[in-house]
């Protein structure tokens, strides 16, 4: 499995990417939407972990652009703002993925979301 983490908090995404690599998950990270779109030209990913609120391109906008380039990619949104209900409303607008985590993101919760996505899509880990 290959994932990309997109969040304007560099320490968060670099640390999560490192912790995922310790678990054998290939993880790249970038700190904004423009970098994420460029990265998609260089590599393919199974899952994108996207911050909902970032300067420039929002996570919801970025999801639409990334999904247009890579329709098979799945998304997990992370947010430090709002509640589960706020997120559900936003996720419907973004295609109803329904996969989200609230910051601070715990590595076990993130790995569990990967498992949920794999089960939902019928893929194997």
The residue range of the domain holding 81 is: 2-121
- Residue 80's pLDDT is what? 82
How many domains does the chain contain in total?
1
Instruction: Look at residues 40, 15, 20 and name the one whose alpha carbon lies nearest to residue 125.
Output: 20
CATH number reported for the structural domain that contains residue 77 in this entry: 3.40.50.2300
Q: How far apart are CA 9 and CA 6, in angstroms?
A: 9
> To which H or E segment does residue 108 belong?
helix 107-121
Per-residue pLDDT of the chain (125 residues; tens, 9 = 90+): 999 999 999 999 999 999 999 999 999 999 999 999 999 999 999 999 999 889 999 888 999 999 999 999 999 988 887 655 656 655 555 455 558 888 888 999 999 999 988 888 776 55
pTM assigned to the model: 0.86
């Amino acid at each position: 499995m290959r994932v990309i983490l997109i969040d304007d908090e560099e320490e968060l995404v670099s640390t999560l990417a490192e912790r995922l690599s310790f678990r054998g998950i290939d993880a790249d990270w970038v700190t904004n939407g423009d970098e994420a779109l460029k990265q998609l030209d260089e590599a393919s990913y199974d899952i994108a972990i996207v911050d909902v609120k970032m300067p420039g391109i929002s996570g919801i906008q970025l999801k639409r652009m990334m999904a247009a380039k890579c329709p098979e990619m799945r998304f997990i949104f992370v947010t430090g703002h709002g509640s589960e209900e706020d997120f559900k409303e936003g996720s419907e607008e973004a295609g109803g993925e329904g996969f989200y985590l609230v910051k601070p993101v715990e590595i076990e919760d993130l790995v569990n979301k990967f498992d949920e996505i794999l089960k939902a899509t019928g893929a194997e880990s």
